[in-house]
Amino acid sequence: MSKPRILVARNIFPEVVERLSQHFEVESNPQDVVWTPAELAEKLADKDGALTTGSQRVDAALLAAAPRLRIVANMAVGYNNFDVDAMTAAGVQGTNTPDVLTETTADFGFALLMATARRMAESEHYLRAGQWTKWSYDLFAGTEVHGSTLGILGMGRIGQGIAKRGAHGFGMNVVYHNRSRLTPELEAECKARYVSKEELLRTADHLVLVLPYTPASHHAIGAAEIAQMKPTANLINIARGGIVDDAALAKALKERRIAAAGLDVFEGEPAVHPDLLTVPNVVLTPHIASATVPTRLAMAQLAADNLIAFFDGRGPLTPVNTPAGKRA
Ligand code: 8YV
């Protein structure tokens, strides 16, 4: 029997490609070309499976062009690049990479919170530009982290990781809002109190976004929500571009309606709203919250594990859908 054919859509760890090659006929992308949807469709025309990242859109048009495709393993926990309904209807399995990135991503969320509150990017630019000539009492005076109120919107695994860091490490008062409330045990572990979205916006000194991107969360933070925040508050987005209305945020930062923002994700990334590039009170990073070598390797290995388990007949390890039918 011939081996299943797999496309690895982006350049990933060579050892993971090598491991996949022991099980499959693999076409990889060592040049790391970001294929257009048409190029990706062409590549998938004869493939049985694919390993993707968040930058490949998997929708009905792509699936129609890939009649043999049975599984797409995303190397990401978020899978808003998948049209899950279209995949399920077409009998295509989707998988993601939960758990392996939780603590690393929570570390980064906290780092971005601290960098934003303590104005680390802005002050570094000032120093590099040779503008530091003397001490002054209010030079880059920021907002307090310890003992302040940490607000978390979206309380999944990563949100809980951030809550624990804030509550246990920095004595923060943690409030959260989520589609569903945590169990009393988890709330106690995170020392977190469930509040309405309105109360969250009104009371948070640092508001961290950690919710998935869905049509319902599109622009969950826009001008109206920002207007409810404290003028001294910081907004941190490590979730997905599109959850924040970036144009409204840039305007609010410019007008100092809130103190600052820390952003790892952007609407239409890798493009960044030009106004965000010119306002000083924002820390900008290029979608790197999960980017440590061990974590990115664990993500790639889990995506590979999903492909191997699926074609071995053991079923996917971390499925995101349950396709009823099976493709030929
Ligand atoms: C990925 C992420 O780096 O896992 C996620 O959902 O956003 C990041 O960890 C990115 O999506 C590339 O796949």
What residues form DSSP beta bridges with 192? 174
- Those residues whose C-beta lies under 8 Å from the C-beta of residue 163, and which sit 6 or more positions away, are 150, 152, 155, 174, 176, 190, 191, 192
Nearest residue to 303 (alpha-carbon basis) of 68, 104, 76, 83: 76
Q: Sign of the C-alpha dihedral, residues 256, 271, 221, 145?
A: negative
Q: Which atom of ligand 1 is nearest to the CA of 75?
A: 13
pLDDT digits (tens, 9 = 90+) for 210-220: 999 999 999 99
- How many whole angstroms separate alpha carbon 157 and alpha carbon 136? 41
- How many whole angstroms separate alpha carbon 229 and alpha carbon 276? 19
Interval between CA 192 and ligand 1 midpoint (Å): 26
Q: Which atom of ligand 1 is nearest to the CA of 240?
A: 7
Interval between CA 214 and ligand 1 midpoint (Å): 15
Interval between CA 177 and ligand 1 midpoint (Å): 23
CB 320 within 8 A of CB 94: yes
- How many whole angstroms separate alpha carbon 198 and alpha carbon 189? 24
Cα angle vertex 18, ends 14, 21, to 5°? 140
pLDDT at 327: 67
User: What are the CB-based long-range contacts (under 8 Å, 24+) for 317-321?
Assistant: 317/95, 318/95, 318/96, 318/97, 318/98, 318/99, 319/93, 319/94, 319/95, 320/74, 320/79, 320/82, 320/84, 320/94, 320/95, 320/96, 321/84, 321/87, 321/88, 321/93, 321/94
pLDDT at 325: 73
What's the CA dihedral at 31, 34, 37, 43 to 10 degrees? 10
Could you say which residues of the chain have pLDDT below 70?
326-328
Q: Which two tokens stand for residue 100?
A: 């392996």
- How many whole angstroms separate alpha carbon 75 and alpha carbon 320? 13
pLDDT at 328: 54
Interval between CA 135 and ligand 1 midpoint (Å): 41
- How many whole angstroms separate alpha carbon 246 and alpha carbon 276? 8
Nearest residue to 192 (alpha-carbon basis) of 172, 211, 208: 172
- How many whole angstroms separate alpha carbon 221 and alpha carbon 200? 12
Residues noted as catalytic: 240, 269, 287
CB 256 within 8 A of CB 281: yes
Distances (CA, A) of 215 to 80, 212, 218, 243: 10, 10, 5, 9
Q: Is 146 exposed, middle or buried (0-12, 13-18, 19+ CB in 10 A)?
A: exposed
| Pocket mutation for ligand 1, best pick of 52, 58, 77, 105 (most atoms within 8 Å of C-beta) | 77
- How many whole angstroms separate alpha carbon 58 and alpha carbon 287? 20
Q: Which atom of ligand 1 is nearest to the CA of 96?
A: 4
- How many whole angstroms separate alpha carbon 106 and alpha carbon 64? 37
Nearest residue to 165 (alpha-carbon basis) of 115, 235, 121, 114: 114
Which residue has a Cα nearest atom 4 of ligand 1?
A: 76
Query: How far, rounded to the nearest angstrom, does the alpha carbon of residue 327 sit from its chain's CA centroid?
Result: 30
- How many whole angstroms separate alpha carbon 251 and alpha carbon 314? 51
The strand pair at 71-74 and 49-52 is best described as parallel
Helices 102-117 and 293-312 pack at an angle, to 10 degrees, of 150
pLDDT at 326: 67
Output the ligand 1 site: residues, CB below 6 A: 53-54, 75-78, 101, 290
Which residue has a Cα nearest atom 5 of ligand 1?
A: 76
Interval between CA 297 and ligand 1 midpoint (Å): 12
